[in-house]
Amino acid sequence: MSYPKDPKARYLSRSWTSSLSTPELMGKVFDLIVVIPAYDETDVAATIDSLASCDAVDATILVHVLYNGADMTRRRESDGLQMTKCQEINLPDWLHLVQSQYYHQEIRKWGVGHARKILMDHALDHQNSSDALIVNLDADCEVARSYFQRLLDLDQAHPEMDAFSLGFAHTDLAPAITAYELHLRYFRMMTDSAKHPHAYHTVGSAMAVRGRAYIAQGGMPLRQAGEDFYFLHKYSKVSRLWQDHVPLVFPQGRASDRVPFGTGRAVLQYAHTQVQSSYHPDSFELLEELIMYLKTGGKSILAKANQSYQKNESLDEWIHRSRNNSQTEENYQKRIFQEFDAFRLMKYLHYLREHGCPDIEVTQAVKASASRIGLQQADSDALLLLEALRPLDLKRHQ
């Protein structure tokens, strides 16, 4: 079987995707495309209204909403009402809205990764350039007025980057979502403090990618959850992911059992336990030690916990393989973290959890790590800690 030579045509010919009927887009292209999967949502119009209220930009922008889920009469009727509400919103001339529906029978095999992939694959045919951005947003979010301008500025300022992790901040800071966001920021900042180069937020409603880079990395993973983590870290491994911390996206913090982990699941679990756990601070001390070992090619000393991990995972083989495939020290430093990437980092922290570094309550973790992440005063209140961490998270990447 022969495949087309054009990268986009070749990707689409190999990729599972669903054909969406959008005759209103026939022959149209846009400077920037925002895609929004909507599954059992109750107020999509609030998201569209927020986008319509953004500052005007000198660009043409498409917003594409995909209502999806199990093929049920109730859901079709509910989504139909959502579509009508969205159609009634007055949009500026430069902003265009398209709404599609896709329903299916095998709901157990369906996940948000499928919906994002359908939308992003479809967007490829309506970009004015293969370098243009495809932006992911969720239907429970509002955005900053500067949302579109910031995206266009990032596009122009960082042409060498393939993908972008955008700044976010949850709005309804109830105890559950406050504790969860605190965990997210603590984890990223501690990973950064340990000098792992892949310390990025991976939030599905706050990410963007260039069309050509989306194709080159094989598109969106078909996962029920965690698709954002696996997707964005395709680009961190090749040093083409930019972390932007200017708050652009404001998600809600809702309980949900639709996915096995993530924001909705964390909020749901908190309702039962009243506790948000996070990684033990000692784990990041050990992580920094392990990273030094890898950076120096195995020439530093390891603590007992890391010695066990080194043997179990054959770290010296990583070092040997990376050295053999690197002509310069700079190349080695990149290759060794293609071995010890974000996925292996998570597995490492889970290994330490079972070997002397159990998870602890998140406010206790932050307080114990105050000096490491630059926190001047460590309060016991989760909301006060989060308010202190947000600007620190931004400051570290300005």
pLDDT the model gives residue 15: 79
Band of the pLDDT at 339, cuts 50, 70, 90? very high
Task: Tell me the C-alpha to C-alpha distance, in Å, between residue 41 and each of 48, 62, 79, 97.
Answer: 13, 20, 8, 17
Range with the poorest average pLDDT among 69-83, 288-302, 373-387: 69-83
pLDDT the model gives residue 398: 44
Name the strands in the sheet holding 163-168, side by side, starting at the edge strand that comes first in the sequence: 95-104, 61-70, 32-38, 133-136, 207-210, 163-168, 241-251, 141-143
pLDDT the model gives residue 3: 61
Longest pairwise C-alpha distance within the chain: 65
Q: For residue 109, give every residue at least 6 positions away whose Cβ sits within 8 Å of its Cβ, in sequence order, or none.
A: none
pLDDT the model gives residue 77: 85
Range with the poorest average pLDDT among 53-62, 150-159, 264-273, 292-301: 264-273
Q: Render pLDDT for 23-68 as a digit per residue (tens, 0 to 9).
A: 999 999 999 999 999 988 899 999 999 999 999 999 999 999 999 8
Task: List helix spans (H) across the chain.
Answer: 7-14, 44-52, 73-87, 112-123, 147-157, 175-193, 211-216, 227-236, 263-273, 281-295, 304-313, 315-324, 329-339, 342-353, 362-368, 370-373, 382-395
Distance between terminal CA atoms of the chain? Answer: 49
267, 171 Cβ separation under 8 angstroms: no
7, 211 Cβ separation under 8 angstroms: no
pLDDT the model gives residue 280: 98
pTM, to two decimals: 0.92
Q: Render pLDDT for 350-363 as a digit per residue (tens, 0 to 9).
A: 999 999 999 999 99
200, 242 Cβ separation under 8 angstroms: no
CATH 2.60.120.560 matches 7-184+194-274: no
Bridge partners, residue 210, by sequence: 133
Q: Render pLDDT for 197-230 as a digit per residue (tens, 0 to 9).
A: 999 999 999 999 999 999 999 999 887 668 899 9
* For residues 232-254, average pLDDT: 92
The domain segmentation of the chain, as residue ranges, is 7-184+194-274, 281-383
Counting residues of the chain whose pLDDT is more than 90, the rounded percentage is: 75
